[in-house]
Structure 1
Amino acid sequence: MARVFKSLDEFKAIAGEEIGASDWHTIDQAQINAFADATGDHQWIHVDVEAAAKGPFGGPIAHGYLTLSLLPVLAEQIYDIQGLAFGMNYGANKLRFPTPVPVDSRVRGVATLKETNEIAIGTQAIISFVMEIEGVEKPALVAEVVYVMAAAS
C-alpha cells in the first residue's frame, strides 16, 4: 500500500527519511524477452537460455536497464503525492547495478527522499532508490533519481 502524502509540502517535510518499500516483483524470462524486443538488446546473457546456463551466472540475467525501468511501477506502490499539477522524471545523478538479477528473481524498491529544492517551475526532488533482490545481500540497483513536480494551484 502506497504511502499517501496529501500535498507536495507534506512530501517535502520528510526530506532525509525513508519513504517506504514496494511489493516484490518477479522478473521472469518473458519480461526479459519483451524488454529485449522493446530495446533491441538481445545479448545472449539475457535471452539465450541455453548459452546463459553455461555462462558466468548459470542462467539468464535481467538487463540492468530493465531493473531501472521498473522504478516507475515500483515507485507508484511506494508513494502517492496528491494535489500535483505535474510530476516528471528529470534524470539521475547516480546509477549503479551492483548485482546481476537472475531470471525468476524477486525484486523490490526501497525509496528515500534525500532532498528537495525549489526551482523556477516547482520543486526538484532527489529520491534514492535501492532495488533489493530477495535473499541476496547486495542490491540489484542503486539510483539517485531526480524528479520535478509542482503543486496544483
Structure 2
Amino acid sequence: MMCSSLGKEKEIIASELARKVQQLNGMEELLADLKAQNEILLAKVQACASEHKERRSAGETQGNAALQERNKELSEQLLKSLDGYRSLKRKYRDVQEENNGLHNTIAEIEGQVKVQLESIWELKARMNEQTVNHEEEISAIEHALEDLTFKTSQHREKKDCSRP
C-alpha cells in the first residue's frame, strides 16, 4: 500500500514536470513573438527615420514634430518590449532551475524507493526465520518511507507557495 502511494507521488511529480515543460514551450513562443515584434518596431523606427530624412532634404518641415513624437512612441514601445523579453528570459531560467531540481529529487526518491523495495523483498524471504527481529527491520523500512513522504510533501509545499 505504501509503495502504491509512492507510485502516485511519482506520477504527480511527473505530471508537474510535464506542465512545466508546457509552460517553458509557451514562454519560448512568447519570446519568439517578442523578438518578431521588436524587429517590426525597429523596421518602423527605421522607416520613420528615413521618411524624416527625406522630408527634411525636400525642405518640408511641416509634420516634423509629429514624426519626432511617433519616433519617441516607437522607441518607448521597443524599450517596453525589450524589458518584457528580459523578464520572460529570467522566468524561463527560474523555471528551468526548478525543473532540474525536480528531476534530481525524483531520481533520488526513485533510488530510495528501490532500496526500500529490496529491503521488503529480503524481509519477505526471511519471514520464516525465527532468529530475525522483524520489528526492527519493519521499523527501519517504515522510517525510510516516512522520510520519502516528507521529501515529497516539501516539494508539494514549495509548489503551493509559488503559485499566486
- Normalised to the residue count of structure 1, the TM-score between the two structures is 0.23
Higher helix share: 2
Instruction: Report which of the two structures shows the higher radius of gyration computed on alpha carbons.
Output: 2
